[in-house]
């Protein structure tokens, strides 16, 4: 299985700078980005895409800089943190990036990242920023249900399916090891 730890090269999401007008409505582009069977790897685990990533990018000028806003939504599945059953999650992300040719940038506000361009270019390639917006909004874990009983620490069975009858000892496993040594 192909694992993505960065955006796939097939994601070409350029915003033509000449299409961004100095005054007026923000330039808006929409992308449906496929994963082509690859999974996203982050936090040391796999997130299986259940749908293409829906992305909306808007761009407008703020004096001589271009401010872009990346909004995205997606659906993934990942193993339940307690019982490991694949669990579907919906994610949303929203980040702002300011592109500038200036040497020094005043932080626009806490929610906007400033990116210094090293020279004039015709297009802003947004794939790295879409990727960043995606992974920063992936949850570290998920629960298949709020009261998931998890796997039995004694026999390893899924305690949601049936009660395995093992002595229920939910204490800290490290303490159990200590006890067994004493
Ligand atoms: Zn579970
Ligand atoms: Zn058990």
Q: Is the CB of residue 59 less than 8 Å from the CB of residue 24? A: no
The pLDDT assigned to 53 comes to: 98
For 6-36, how does the pLDDT look when each residue is reduced to its tens digit (9 = 90+)? 999 899 999 999 999 888 789 999 999 999 9
The pLDDT assigned to 176 comes to: 65
Closest-approaching ligand to the CA atom of 159: 2
Ligand 1 centroid from CA 87, angstroms = 8
For 147-178, how does the pLDDT look when each residue is reduced to its tens digit (9 = 90+)? 999 999 999 999 999 989 897 655 666 666 66
Q: Give the global pTM.
A: 0.85
What's the rounded Cα separation, in Å, for the pair 123 and 71? 19
Looking from the CA of 81 toward its CB, the CA atoms found within 13 Å total: 11
Ligand 1 centroid from CA 171, angstroms = 19
Closest-approaching ligand to the CA atom of 170: 2
For 67-118, how does the pLDDT look when each residue is reduced to its tens digit (9 = 90+)? 999 999 999 999 999 999 999 999 999 999 999 988 877 766 777 888 888 8
List the domain boundaries for the chain. Answer: 3-148, 151-182
């Amino acid at each position: 299985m192909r694992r993505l730890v960065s955006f796939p090269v097939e994601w070409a999401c350029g915003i033509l700078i000449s299409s961004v007008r100095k005054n007026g409505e923000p330039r808006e582009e929409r992308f449906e980005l496929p994963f082509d069977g690859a999974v996203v790897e982050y936090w040391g685990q796999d997130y299986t895409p259940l749908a293409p990533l829906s992305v909306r990018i808007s761009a407008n000028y703020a004096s001589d800089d271009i401010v872009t806003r990346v909004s995205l939504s997606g659906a993934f599945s990942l193993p339940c943190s307690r019982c490991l059953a694949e669990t579907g999650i919906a994610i949303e992300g929203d980040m702002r990036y300011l592109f500038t040719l200036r040497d020094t940038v005043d932080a626009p506000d806490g929610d906007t990242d400033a990116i210094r361009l090293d020279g004039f270019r015709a297009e802003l390639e947004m794939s790295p920023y879409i990727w960043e917006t995606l992974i920063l909004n992936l949850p570290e874990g998920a629960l298949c249900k709020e009261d998931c009983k998890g796997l039995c620490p004694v026999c390893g069975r899924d305690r949601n399916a049936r009660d395995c009858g093992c002595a229920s000892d939910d204490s800290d496993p490290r303490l159990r090891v200590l006890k067994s040594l004493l």
